[in-house]
Structure 1
Amino acid sequence: MSAMTVESRLLSLLGMLAAGRTYTAGELGAHFGVTPRSVRRDIASLRELGYVIESLPGATGGYRAHSRTVLPPLQLQTGEALATAVGLSLLNGAGLSTTDVESATAKLRTMLPPVMHRTIGDISTAVSVLPGHEPGVDMTAVMTTTSAIASRNVLTFAHEKRRPTRSETRSETTQRRVEPVRMVVLGGHWYLYGWDLTRSDWRVFRLDRMSEIHETTFAFAPRDHPDAEVAVSSAVTTAAYRHTVILEVDATVAETKAWFPTRTATITNSGDGARVEFGVEDLAWAAVITAATPVDFRVIEPPELLDALRDLGQRAAQVSRTGSTEMVAAERSEQ
Structure 2
Amino acid sequence: MGSTMTAESRLLSLLGMLATGRTRTATELAAHFGVTPRSIRRDMTSLRQLGYVIESVPGVLGGYRAQSHTVLPPLQLETGEALATAVGLALLNGAGLGTSNADSATAKLQGMLPPAMRETIRNISTAVSVLPGHEPGVDMTAVMTTASAIASRSVLTFTHVKRKSAGSQAMERRVEPVRMVVLGAHWYLYAWDLTRADWRVFRLDRMSEVHETTFAFAPRDHPDAEAAVSSAVTTHAYRHTVILDVDASAAEAEAWFPTRAATITATDDGARVEFGVEDLTWAAVITAATPVSFRVIEPPALLDALHDLGARAARVSRSGTSRSG
TM-score bracket, normalised by the shorter chain, equals 0.7 to 0.9
- Report the equivalent of 1:133: 134
- Once the two structures are TM-superposed, the CA of residue 67 in structure 1 deviates from its matched residue by 2.8
- Once the two structures are TM-superposed, the CA of residue 114 in structure 1 deviates from its matched residue by 1.6
Counterpart secondary structure, 2:128? coil
Match of 1:248 among 221, 241, 245: 245
Instruction: Determine if contact 1:17/1:65 at 8 Å carries over to the other structure.
Output: no
Instruction: Determine if contact 2:150/2:178 at 8 Å carries over to the other structure.
Output: yes
Count residues in correspondence: 302
Larger mean Cα displacement after TM superposition, 103-112 or 39-48: 39-48
Q: TM-score with structure 1 length normalisation?
A: 0.83
Instruction: Determine if contact 1:191/1:205 at 8 Å carries over to the other structure.
Output: yes
**Structure 2 CA distance for aligned equivalents of residues 47 and 197 of structure 1:** 33
Provide the aligned C-alpha RMSD in A. Answer: 2.7
Instruction: Determine if contact 1:14/1:65 at 8 Å carries over to the other structure.
Output: no
Instruction: Determine if contact 2:264/2:273 at 8 Å carries over to the other structure.
Output: yes
CA distance change for structure 1 residues 234 and 101 in 2, over 3 Å: closer, same or farther? same
- Report the equivalent of 2:66: 67
Instruction: Determine if contact 2:11/2:43 at 8 Å carries over to the other structure.
Output: no
- Report the equivalent of 1:33: none
Runs of 4+ in 1 over 3 A off after TM superposition: 8-12, 26-29, 39-49, 51-55
- Once the two structures are TM-superposed, the CA of residue 47 in structure 1 deviates from its matched residue by 5.3
- Once the two structures are TM-superposed, the CA of residue 45 in structure 1 deviates from its matched residue by 6.7
Aligned partner of 2:257: which letter? F
**Structure 1 CA distance for aligned equivalents of residues 198 and 55 of structure 2:** 37
1:241-320 aligned within 5 A:
241-320=238-317
Structure 2 unaligned segments of length 5 or more: list them: 19-27, 57-62
Aligned partner of 1:67: which letter? A
Aligned partner of 2:265: which letter? T
- Report the equivalent of 1:121: 122
- Once the two structures are TM-superposed, the CA of residue 316 in structure 1 deviates from its matched residue by 0.7
- Report the equivalent of 2:81: 80
Q: Could you tell me the percent identity over the aligned residues?
A: 73
**Structure 2 CA distance for aligned equivalents of residues 66 and 225 of structure 1:** 25
Work out which structure has the larger RCO, using CA pairs closer than 8 Å and 6 or more positions apart in sequence. Answer: 2
CA distance change for structure 1 residues 315 and 106 in 2, over 3 Å: closer, same or farther? same
CA distance change for structure 1 residues 40 and 249 in 2, over 3 Å: closer, same or farther? closer
Q: TM-score with structure 2 length normalisation?
A: 0.85
- Report the equivalent of 1:187: 184
Aligned partner of 1:145: which letter? T
Instruction: Determine if contact 2:155/2:212 at 8 Å carries over to the other structure.
Output: yes
- Once the two structures are TM-superposed, the CA of residue 13 in structure 1 deviates from its matched residue by 2.6
**Structure 2 CA distance for aligned equivalents of residues 200 and 191 of structure 1:** 19
Larger mean Cα displacement after TM superposition, 90-99 or 41-50: 41-50
**Structure 2 CA distance for aligned equivalents of residues 124 and 302 of structure 1:** 48
Larger Rg computed on CA atoms: 1
- Once the two structures are TM-superposed, the CA of residue 192 in structure 1 deviates from its matched residue by 0.3
- Once the two structures are TM-superposed, the CA of residue 71 in structure 1 deviates from its matched residue by 1.2
- Report the equivalent of 1:14: 11
CA distance change for structure 1 residues 325 and 226 in 2, over 3 Å: closer, same or farther? same
